[in-house]
A and B are shown apart, each in its own frame.
Chain A
């Protein structure tokens, strides 16, 4: 039973990190209909930024909590700047081009950013400082659920809750929903669509950066290539849940995380990715719009 619970929490932790990344994919897709393949790199840049900031601050002897908060904010801001810039230079000029063009541009941005970090940093794995301490009160259950699992779960739950409120009730949230449903009409009611798109990239990038920092601290190492597989997995989760749907991205991520965790635990860790992508294939065959994706209904 302990083993089952351990796998369950492992899967949920994994799933919530996927969710933080998958939200960026699904929100951008919802607004501009583009799969932003550079999104995994945004996550990687977030991890690197928090690594650099945390290292510098710990040299100056900041307390751990301050390090975590400042590193998270720095990662979110820096990754958002990358996200918005990528949209401006690589996607916006192609907004009226055929759909394939921005997609290729996105793949190009992804390769560019990987190599940029490779050259600017290193190709080696870097040891990432443990930002989350082992809590004393967790000791009795530490062999099943780690402290960082707990922190990751609580943080992502809070973030998702905040995001839901933002989208449902704020002005920018309403503008995002309207733009996702009908961009021309959004313009005609006076929404500055460029600003909405930038805001979407800011939110998606900040979430990915947070995910990058949390998982890097959990695993304990990073390199320039971590964005690739994490990006593909999160994209899979977004498609699983129904691309364009925000609750779908979260659900898809949790399903994917749990599948991987249980498959690794009960079958073999060698087949982790096989199970993840088999799940994707099955969903695409039997429910192509994803778990919560809706087939478009329009009345003319």
Chain B
């Protein structure tokens, strides 16, 4: 479904990604794990078209997408929940969700998806007329994910959904990621520092170090891998 071929990207004078190769198949949950500053978020921003590639190619459903603008990618079904959630703090919860469906015109489908995200996160239905900025961190994460779902993505990019949240909420968020994947066969690319949780729900994983992909394997194998255990799982 998504393929990165020899992707190089960065900001200003600093090159962050070096020859990144990655394949995500339809329906999979893939996780990308790595330390702070390894290039995880940069990978997602490159896929979403926010930062331009220096070289390399990105394919989505067999089509080159690395020269498309971010709004074209959303239209194709590539949606991202960025790190730090980026809630529109002065818009209400409902308006934030409406923004997620910005490119859609199918009123019936939008209503269905709204009901779906409210079934995933009932708390958002309670708070729908509240400003996004007044929500707690966990609720903001739920809103950010719901907003992305409102675009009815084929590929959902999640950047550190567990960051800064309480363990109980993290558990809930990961369960829901799994559920989203099952319910709509949504392909998920999950970037995480919380490698343990991420690998437990993922099918396969990639490890990124200093902007290079160093290991690629099934999630089970990665959980058993001693280097991974030492570096990322704290075992």
Using a CB–CB distance below 8 Å, which chain A residues touch chain B? 171, 174-175, 177-178, 181-182, 184-193, 297-300
| B89, A298: Cβ atoms closer than 8 Å | yes
Q: Is the CB of B89 within 8 A of A190?
A: no
Contacts of A186 in B (CB 8 A): 99
Q: How far is the CA of A191 from the CA of B74 in the complex (A)?
A: 9
**Among residues 41 to 100 in chain B, which have CB atoms less than 8 Å away from a CB atom of chain A?**
48-50, 69-71, 74-75, 79-80, 82, 84, 86-91, 95, 98-100
Q: How far in angstroms is the closest Cβ of chain A from B21?
A: 24
A190–B91 CB distance below 8 A: no
Contacting pair B50 A174 (CB below 8 A): no
Let me know if B125 is at the binding interface, CB within 8 A. Answer: no
Minimal beta-carbon separation of B37 from chain A (angstroms): 17
Are A178's CB and B71's CB within 8 A? no
Interface check B10, CB cutoff 8 A: no
Across-interface contacts of B79 in A (CB, < 8 A): 188
Given contacts A178-B99, A297-B133, A299-B137, contact A188 B89 (CB under 8 A): no
In whole Å, how far is A26's beta carbon from the nearest beta carbon of chain B?
15
Asked if B213 CB lies within 8 Å of chain A CBs, one says no
Considering only CB atoms, which chain B residue lies closest to A296 in the complex? B89
- In the complex, how many angstroms separate the beta carbon of B109 from the nearest chain A beta carbon? 15
Among A189, A193, A299: residue with most chain B CB under 10 A: A189
**Bound complex: CA A182 to CA B99 (Å):** 12
Subset of 8 A-B contacts with CB under 8 Å: A175-B102, A182-B88, A188-B80, A189-B74, A189-B147, A190-B70, A191-B99, A297-B89
Chain A residues near B86 (CB, 8 Å)?
182, 184-185, 188
| Interface membership of chain B positions 203-225, coded 1 if the CB is closer than 8 angstroms to chain A and 0 otherwise | 00000000000000000000000
Interface contact B102-A191, CB-CB below 8 Å:
yes
B187 touches A (CB below 8 Å)? no
Return chain B residues, CB-CB under 8 Å to A192: 69, 71
Which residue of the partner chain, among B69, B75, B91, contacts A178 with CB atoms under 8 Å? B91
Q: Does B8 interact with chain A (Cβ within 8 Å)? A: no
Taking the nearest CB of chain B, how far is it from the CB of A230, in angstroms?
A: 30
In the bound assembly, the distance between CA atoms of A300 and B133 in angstroms comes to 10
Complex contacts, A300 vs chain B, CB 8 Å:
84, 164
Known interface pairs A190-B70, A191-B102, A192-B71; A174-B95 also in contact (CB < 8 Å)? yes
The residue on B at minimum CB distance from A180 is B90
Minimal Cβ-Cβ distance residue in A for B45: A184
Closest to B44 in A: A188
CB within 8 Å for A184 and B71 given contacts A174-B98, A174-B99, A300-B84: no
